[in-house]
């Protein structure tokens, strides 16, 4: 049913199909923009799924591409209508990383490397509150609460029995030893991390300081993969004022290879649990 459609993913699929039609026509984004009297950036944002697509946009583009099969036009129009629905995260108002949430909500698996912090899907509420407050010191109490609520809502994918997210996390040792909130908060957080790592679809590995230089030194990233073959994998890089999404096959492949190196250099699952438990004991003492 349309009400169950993820608007972010549907918009992305539609954009990919519109790009395919443009390329079949042998036109550049600049040429299409000139024909429709719009900016080239609008065409690019429609194709990469970063902008809402109206049925009028689809109609105009199909006209430029001379799409004669009405079934194709009707299908694209339906996708445009579905893509303008609102996901659960829109009920929280303006969320700066709503595009990522939409992708995460529909992803089948997620591989994350975190150099400084416990990844959001495995955070306790107390850790999340202290983290948001510390990272955004000028944020109001209401805004902090909204961000924490969104984070807790995202975690439902982990415990969804019907369709759990396959999560693989590589945590740098720094993420375990950076005190966020208090030592008590950290102890509870690490104990929660151990508990979650015992789920069959959650894997946590620790990358110790002793490893030295490694492929993740440039910072945090996540690789999202989807069950539908029509949805290509995405690499997500979080920024302070804007985020970056990489979808080209060669880019995704490069980050995937980097991730395999990080996994290989990390402690295995059992050794990682013991390492986390030892750090938790230090906080308890």
**What average pLDDT does the segment 80-105 reach?**
75
Rounded to two decimals, the pTM is: 0.76
| pLDDT tens digits, 52-84 | 788 888 889 999 999 888 888 888 888 787 767
**What average pLDDT does the segment 123-145 reach?**
93
Q: Identify the band that residue 164 occupies on the pLDDT scale cut at 50, 70 and 90.
A: very high
Share of the chain above pLDDT 70, in %: 93
**What average pLDDT does the segment 123-148 reach?**
93
- Whole-angstrom distance, CA of residue 157 vs CA of residue 150: 12
Q: Identify the band that residue 6 occupies on the pLDDT scale cut at 50, 70 and 90.
A: low
The structure tokens listed for 34 are: 């000139």
Q: What are phi and psi of 81, to 5 degrees?
A: -65, -45
| pLDDT tens digits, 204-252 | 999 999 999 999 999 999 999 988 766 788 899 987 777 788 888 899 9
Q: Which of 82, 87, 274, 94 is nearest to 176 (CA)?
A: 274
Q: Which of 101-115, 166-180, 185-199 has the lowest mean pLDDT?
A: 101-115
Q: Is the pLDDT of residue 4 over 50?
A: no
- Whole-angstrom distance, CA of residue 202 vs CA of residue 136: 29
5, 87 Cβ separation under 8 angstroms: no
**What average pLDDT does the segment 39-49 reach?**
85
What does the pLDDT read at residue 54?
Answer: 85
Q: 266: which residues sit within 8 A by CB, 6+ positions away?
A: 170, 205, 206, 207, 208, 211, 272
- Whole-angstrom distance, CA of residue 84 vs CA of residue 52: 6
225, 165 Cβ separation under 8 angstroms: no
Rg (CA), the chain: 21
What does the pLDDT read at residue 224?
Answer: 94
The structure tokens listed for 84 are: 């303008």
Domains of the chain: 2-85 (1.10.260.40), 89-284 (3.30.870)
- Whole-angstrom distance, CA of residue 243 vs CA of residue 111: 17
**What average pLDDT does the segment 184-190 reach?**
97
Q: Which of 158-162, 167-171, 206-210 has the lowest mean pLDDT?
A: 158-162
Q: What is the rounded average pLDDT for all residues in the chain?
A: 88
Provide the terminal-to-terminal Cα distance of the chain, rounded to the nearest Å: 53
What does the pLDDT read at residue 2?
Answer: 35
**What average pLDDT does the segment 156-179 reach?**
94
Query: Quick check: helix, strand or coil at residue 244?
Result: strand
164, 201 Cβ separation under 8 angstroms: yes
Share of the chain above pLDDT 90, in %: 54
Q: Which of 55, 103, 104 is nearest to 79 (CA)?
A: 55
């Amino acid at each position: 049913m349309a009400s169950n459609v993820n608007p972010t993913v549907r918009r992305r699929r539609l954009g990919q199909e519109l790009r395919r039609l443009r390329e079949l026509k042998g036109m550049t984004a600049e040429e299409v923009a000139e024909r429709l009297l719009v900016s080239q950036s609008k065409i690019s944002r429609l194709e990469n799924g970063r902008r809402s697509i109206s049925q009028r946009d689809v109609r105009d583009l199909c006209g430029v591409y001379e799409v004669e099969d009405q079934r194709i036009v009707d299908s694209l129009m339906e996708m445009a209508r579905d893509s303008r629905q609102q996901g659960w995260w829109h009920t929280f108002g303006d969320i700066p990383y709503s595009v990522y949430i939409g992708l995460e909500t529909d992803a089948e698996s997620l591989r994350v490397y975190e150099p400084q912090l416990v990844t959001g899907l495995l955070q306790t509420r107390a850790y999340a509150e202290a983290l948001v407050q510390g990272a955004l010191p000028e944020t109001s109490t209401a805004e902090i609460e909204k961000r924490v609520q969104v984070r807790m809502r995202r975690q439902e994918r982990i415990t969804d029995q019907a369709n759990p997210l396959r999560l693989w996390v590589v945590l740098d040792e720094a993420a375990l030893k950076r005190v966020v909130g208090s030592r008590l908060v950290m102890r509870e957080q690490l104990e929660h991390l151990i508990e979650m790592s015992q789920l069959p679809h959650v894997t946590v590995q620790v990358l110790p300081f002793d490893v030295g230089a490694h492929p993740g030194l440039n910072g945090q990233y996540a690789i999202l993969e989807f069950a539908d073959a029509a949805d290509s994998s995405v690499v997500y890089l979080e920024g302070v004022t804007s985020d970056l999404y990489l979808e080209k096959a060669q880019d995704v492949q490069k980050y995937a290879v980097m991730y395999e190196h990080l996994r290989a250099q990390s402690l295995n699952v059992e050794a990682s649990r013991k390492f986390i438990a030892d750090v938790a004991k230090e906080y308890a003492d």
